[in-house]
Amino acid sequence: MFNYKNLKKVLFLFQPETAHHIAELGLRVLPKCRIAANYMTNRNFVNDARLTQEIFNVKFINPVGLAAGFDKNCTMVNAMTSLGFGYTEIGTITPRPQDGNPKPRMFRYPNKNSVQNAMGFNNEGAHTVLKNLQKVYPNVLPIGVNIGKNKTTPEEYALSDYKTLIKKFEKNSDYIAINISSPNTPNLRDLQNEEFITALFEMAKELTNKPILLKIAPDMQPQAAINLCKTAVNAGAAGIIATNTTIDYDLLPNCQDFGGLSGEVLQDKAYEMFKAIAQELFGKTLLISVGGISTAQEAYKRIKAGASLLQIYTGMIFEGPSTVKNINEGILKLMQEDGYSHISEAIGADLK
């Protein structure tokens, strides 16, 4: 329908956050334009039995999901099949509405296919997002809900914020992801400690049977990250999402000195952290890999390292609406070359 290279030239004339709002508007309108939506779904959505998995008693038609941060307020869910996604994760959502950090707070680095963001959990708050979610859930695609504490909530009351959010969203989600790893809320990463994680997941177990996952940062020492993930799983976590954005600014010379880096510059760091965690926890919990994935080769590498599911965001900004289709078709081709008849045979192949 269009050439994304040309569209990208136009979008990149705008500030990144403005371009995001333009994209959001388009994706909110798209499902109402049946012809266009069906065309894009037929073009981009890969529905192949070899990629289908049953996870959390829910059918994931393909393993590539949209990472949290793109659809903060649950306004674009019905457009996700048109982009080819097998599932989506909304948020991060806080109990009360939050404006986020001062602008400008998002920066592109096209020569590195990377983005830096310091958004700060800007969202319309749990009440409004839940109303949006109830309009689209249940959905043909699984929907995860990513939750975080408000910036103004003191650390000693953080557990209360997560309790409020779990109770609010557990009936209208397929899983909930706990975000204590964003670098853009002051002191949030301080909650990445075993005492808080144990208390959090023990509380969550009493509140719901819904799968609760932990999303971790890539900037911890690997052994500390492994220990934290083990603690979470032992306390009841249903899975680990690795990783969030990085504050390792040495990865990108001349970048800002605040916010988190995502995209190509995060690729190796995210893979190494995921690999370390998978070597300890593969087969014991669900593992989702995110960070710097934009090609089938990288996606397949994560799958063989132990990822049952994947998430992307930044790669789509630079590669366009066909990104997910290209990844899924590429995974099928690589599976065939390795002699695998189903994705389950490839998952963790490097660890077997």
Please report the domains of the chain, with CATH numbers, ordered by start residue.
Answer: 4-351 (3.20.20.70)
Which value, in Å, is the radius of gyration of the alpha carbons in the chain? Answer: 19
Active-site annotation holder among 182, 262, 289, 294? 182
Residue type, 1: M
Active site residue 182: yes
Band (pLDDT 50/70/90 cuts) for residue 74 is: very high
- Contact call for residues 201 and 212 (beta carbons, < 8 A): yes
Of all helices (H) and strands (E), which one includes residue 127? helix 126-134
**Stretch 168-183: mean pLDDT, rounded?**
97
Q: Is the pLDDT of residue 287 over 50?
A: yes
Band (pLDDT 50/70/90 cuts) for residue 3 is: confident
Cβ neighbours of residue 35 under 8 Å, at least 6 residues apart? none
With a pLDDT cut of 90, the percent of the chain lying above it is 99
Asked if the bond preceding 285 is cis, omega within 30° of 0, the reply is no
Could you tell me where the beta strands, DSSP code E, fall in the chain?
53-55, 58-60, 64-66, 87-93, 106-109, 114-117, 143-147, 175-179, 212-216, 239-242, 260-263, 286-290, 309-312
Residue (of 235, 237, 95) closest to 165 by Cα position: 95
Pairwise CA distance, residues 198 & 221, whole Å: 19
Band (pLDDT 50/70/90 cuts) for residue 2 is: low
